[in-house]
Amino acid sequence: MHVPVDTFAPWRCPNENGDRHHVLLIDEVDNLLIDDDPNPFIAFRQNMMWWQFATANAMSDENIVQLVRELDLAIADADGTGFHFTPMTRQEKLSDELGFTALGGVWVKDETHNVAGSQKARHLMSILLHLLIAEELKMTPWASRATRPPLAISSCGNAAIAAATLAAAVNWPIDVFIPEWADGIVVDTLAKLGARIHRCPRRDNDLPGDPTVLRFREAVTAGAIPFSVQGPENALCLDGGRTIGWEMAEQLRAENLHHLTAVYVQVGGGAFAASLSRGLSESGFDVPLVAVQTAGCAPLERAWKSARDVADCASEWATHMWPWEEPPTSLADGILDDETYDWVADTQQLRRTNGRVVVACEEDVVRAASIGPNLTAIQSSATGTAGLAGLLSERAVTGDSDRVALVLSGISRH
């Protein structure tokens, strides 16, 4: 079903029946428009749904840009940095360690110095801009900032911190649903940002799946806004996530690189991989997507095996995607989602790019967490280096002159 771009709050498929086994996908960009600006949400604005929502409702581009700049200043006040193009370079020491020749190597995009220390804020920024534009245009059902409904997110770490950071920048109340085992640094950071924290134990009468997601959905049903990095919960998260792929393409062209052998992307909920790969494709880089999961939790790999040749896999959701039966375990604990919620969008890009799913053994996850920061000087967490773990798992079958890319995201908070 197509939802008009001028629609307020186009979070989910209108036909969904409460089980979230529906997807609302973002329209394809046929002709990528780019302005010269260091802020990706200004440089790429004309390609995104939030901008098209604003212009379709008669907001001028001048006013849109002013709103984004003011918001970015508020974010920088809350976080110490605003949105900017993050660096992407060939990592010499890492490339040498892995045995690549001078013709090949590993290109790494560093998201640890992005807003809130990861790529997660990119996904959420599109939702926030949509909301603020709707307020500016007086399209919201709430009359004033004082009567705003709360934002809500389920997360075990980086996404929660990104959401709380953006919420703090605009003084928007936010409820964060986290697992019982979330560590002290994450919880302390959320508290400092003013988030209302809800620990979510697994209840005996719960449906299968992540209890943080179940409690989050209950909050949304009660009126909260889904401020989520999961596409089936809020499709606009897939909108801003594409900026990382668009950036990568521009940076590769600046180095006169027009081909990559593969891009390795860690997969938990799946929005990151789908958005990054989609952004590259829309920029003319149909780079094979290598979606990386850990041996301790790999629902996407299971779904990809059964659904890769199914034309309309979304209509057979429960046949291919269901919660991981065993308690998820890995040092890369930020990608231990019980389900790959954006598996349909991931599957589309895996097909489009002739990609694949790799399950990294825990030994490679641990090694990646060690050599990633040591050889790149990028202080990424074990979750953020999980894409590198996928490359380690495949290194024996990759060519020495291959050119591969990955993202180190999720700054180490330990």
pLDDT in tens, 329-387: 999 988 999 999 999 999 999 999 999 999 999 999 999 999 999 999 999 999 999 99
By CB atoms closer than 10 A (0-12, 13-18, 19+), residue 25 is middle
pTM above 0.85, yes or no: yes
- Local confidence band at 91 (pLDDT 50, 70, 90 cut-offs): very high
β-pairing verdict for 88-90 and 105-110: antiparallel
Q: How far is CA 100 from CA 19, 390, 391, in A?
A: 46, 16, 12
- What percent of the chain shows pLDDT beyond 90? 83
Half-sphere exposure of 369 (CA within 13 A, CB side): 19
Tokens for 366, please give them. 């641990």
**Is the pLDDT reported for residue 37 higher than 80?**
yes
Q: Are 125 and 83 in contact (CB under 8 A)?
A: yes
Measured distance CA(393)–CA(167) in Å, rounded? 38
pLDDT score for 155: 87
For residue range 167-220, what is the model confidence (pLDDT) as tens digits? 999 999 999 999 887 777 888 999 999 999 999 888 888 777 788 999 999 999
pLDDT score for 92: 98
Measured distance CA(130)–CA(318) in Å, rounded? 31
Q: Which domains does the chain have, with CATH numbers?
A: 88-117+239-408 (3.40.50.1100)
Q: What average pLDDT is seen over the chain? A: 94
pLDDT score for 183: 72
Average pLDDT of the segment spanning 227-238: 95
Strand partners, 404: 106, 262
Nearest to 237 by CA among 358, 173, 135, 155: 155
- Local confidence band at 414 (pLDDT 50, 70, 90 cut-offs): low
For residue range 289-325, what is the model confidence (pLDDT) as tens digits? 999 999 999 999 999 999 999 988 888 999 999 999 8
Name the H helices within 311-354: 317-320, 343-352
pLDDT score for 20: 81
pLDDT score for 6: 92
Looking at residue 356, the DSSP 8-state letter turns out to be E
Q: Are 118 and 112 in contact (CB under 8 A)?
A: yes
E strand or H helix at 52, and its extent? helix 49-56
**Is the pLDDT reported for residue 246 higher than 90?**
yes
Average pLDDT of the segment spanning 88-109: 97
Average pLDDT of the segment spanning 132-148: 96
pLDDT score for 380: 96
How many CB atoms sit inside 10 A of residue 126's CB?
26
**Is the pLDDT reported for residue 400 higher than 70?**
yes
pLDDT score for 104: 97
**Is the pLDDT reported for residue 59 higher than 90?**
yes
Average pLDDT of the segment spanning 61-84: 96
Greater confidence (110 vs 158) lies with 110
